[in-house]
Homo-oligomer: A and B are copies of this chain.
Amino acid sequence: MDYLKAKILSDGVVKKGNVLKVDSFLNHQMDVRLYNEIGKEFYRLFGDCNVTKILTIEASGIGIACVTAQSFNYCPVVFAKKSKTSNVSDSVYTSQVESFTHGNVNTVIVSKEYIKPEDRILIIDDFLANGAALTGLIDIVNQAGATVVGAGIVIEKGFQDGGKKLREKGYRIESLAIIDSMNDETGEIVFRD
């Protein structure tokens, strides 16, 4: 994904606290042409895995997941909803996800109707850092007795340990750009080869 890396270098902004601002093309304003390239790359990686459904989490994963589904023969996409309340019904799977950005804990919810034991789930998200969201989504798929085929991530912060921990547990995580270091003073971004 040279195009993605070039876009990160040209339009991404490194902020204090290891924040990478990519909201001009990835998670506030969205470059759907880039999303198409991302979707095709996820298909190249997971196209032979008999994916039956794509799972993502609101909000910024939704667009990427929908465009990606077109490459996977228009398989259904389900997005996990974030809820402030833990007062949820029996008809949903839930998991607790801590947000380090917002300093709170969300209950993440998926209706039991939409993940079945026979499903082979590809998880899609825009970012992987400490892995909290991805761990919550995997937890939900496991509760449903379905199979996690793997996770397709657009940008992984390789200097945080979410990806490492989940790969050590045996999950296949494919990140299209892995950042090994960022410098908010110089703006430098170093990708993993």
The 10 closest A-B pairs by CB, nearest first: A63-B66, A58-B59, A62-B62, A33-B74, A32-B69, A30-B77, A29-B114, A59-B59, A29-B78, A62-B63
Give the residues in chain B near A24, CB-CB below 8 Å.
113-114
- As for how many copies of this chain the complex holds, the number is 2
| Residue A184, interface by CB 8 Å | no
| Residue A143, interface by CB 8 Å | no
Q: Is the CB of A79 within 8 A of B28?
A: yes
Give the residues in chain B near A59, CB-CB below 8 Å.
58-59, 62, 79, 81
Contact with B along A20-45 (1 / 0, CB 8 A): 00011000111111011000000000
Q: Is the CB of A77 within 8 A of B114?
A: no
